[in-house]
Structure 1
């Protein structure tokens, strides 16, 4: 077992595809590690220690910044296929031959690409608060949230990840406290990353013929996790993922939104551990 945890694991670097990837590893080594893929504008410090440390009790957890994000070098690509290819290069540069992948929000798009392109590299997949190519985003309130101003700015993530109910907001404030426990923090993402990730989303959601057909090719066991009322990527898209992927199961948590795993970290760790060890 690593002596480090979410708040103490040192930032390390590895070169691949001409990119210097920043990453942190901690937890119980020896089994199949789980690689985390972050949401829009997030860094390694945007994960919930209750989730990462919870999963690290039984397996090794690897957090990283994809190309151009925060402390990783290079430019952020403007499409998720390239982000997936970069993530695979990063994983292989660590000398790993098999991993589980978790992705939240746009990290879920990247996780799907890792599974599509990586083949046997990926054993199991966890998709949180995410959707599929060509998804209808008319019900999404992401533009409203991300264009508003917040005081303190950190409260943006209360609107993004949590519902406006008392119970959900209370869980959200507790998450924000946990999130800030680490002291040596990643720099925030650049304007280039924000623009590129936004452009990538536009390409991902563009309508196309047979837009769901690719999901049939993701055959790995998949756990789809979602909140009952996701205001960023509408909850219905998780149902579509479960329906179209050959080996997927779905958990929907009550009274929760985009960041359901941050509202129910202990329950999620229990469910994820059952899924990963089954």
Structure 2
């Protein structure tokens, strides 16, 4: 049977002396899609509705970066070092050219990887992210989300207060909990501390001429929620305006987790983009 996000076996590969945990989803397609995860996220915080549907057209690889989830090592406190492990992961598995689906913090890594071109990237999808010098409200938004004492902190973090968005959020969370065995563990402050430092540093770097964005040749689909409070949608427009080959889609009444609020729409957009 074809492996899904819920059923795929966890495998390991050594990268720079660290054992990185990963899973392969879907058939052995020629096209490879590597997923880069959000702040503190693991393999098991991806949405099966997104991952499994994309595995219909690509072989999908989810992995935990160094120090995260089921992987060994320590979590880096710089975007560039995290990107180095991602590049090492692609090289260690000898994947050749890959596409990237990068969410939030993962979108920072994707920008670094596309700019320095150590691995071959065909196309990339960047969702809910920001460029160097972009606007971020990470600590404020996370603090406010925990203060709400919601059943799951992702409801206020990823979704707007509207009834429709919250209902979609609850459905998303249910999907992420279907896998009951061999789940990637949460690692707490050992992950959130260094990753928060990396995010704040990335967004604090001034790049008034947007040279980092202009150096990215990769065809990119930028997807953002209209009401993202963590990385406001102005970030998406900045990336769209200054990347040489970018397309922008904004989803209405959507927060940071827009791709999980409208998984069917998102998958349709991504499949169309990857198959152009």
Q: Deviations over 1:76-109 (max 9, x none)?
A: 1110011111100011000111100111111111
Note if 1:84 corresponds to 2:91.
no
CA distance change for structure 1 residues 146 and 139 in 2, over 3 Å: closer, same or farther? closer
CA distance change for structure 1 residues 50 and 186 in 2, over 3 Å: closer, same or farther? same
CA distance change for structure 1 residues 231 and 141 in 2, over 3 Å: closer, same or farther? farther
User: What residue number does 1:93 align with?
Assistant: 92
Superposition misfits of 4+ residues, deviation over 4 angstroms: 138-141
Choose which of 151, 174, 198 in structure 1 pairs with 2:196: 198
Deviation, 1:145, is: 3.2
User: What residue number does 2:166 align with?
Assistant: 169
Matches within 5 A, 1:224-235: 224-235=222-233
Matches within 5 A, 1:1-278: 3-119=2-118, 121-137=120-136, 141-145=140-144, 147-148=146-147, 150-152=149-151, 155-184=152-181, 185-210=183-208, 212-278=210-276
Single out whichever of 201-210 and 59-68 deviates more from structure 2: 201-210
TM-score, normalised to structure 1's length? 0.94
Q: Distance in 1 between matches of 2:238 and 2:218?
A: 16
Aligned residues: 275
TM-score, normalised to structure 2's length? 0.95
Deviation, 1:236, is: 0.9
Q: Distance in 1 between matches of 2:271 and 2:118?
A: 22
Deviation, 1:110, is: 1.1
Q: Deviations over 1:193-226 (max 9, x none)?
A: 1110011112101142546211111111000001
Single out whichever of 230-239 and 24-33 deviates more from structure 2: 24-33
Q: Secondary structure at the match of 1:223?
A: strand
RMSD (Å), alpha carbons:
1.7
Q: Distance in 1 between matches of 2:45 and 2:80?
A: 23
Gaps of 5+ in 2: none
Q: Secondary structure at the match of 1:30?
A: coil
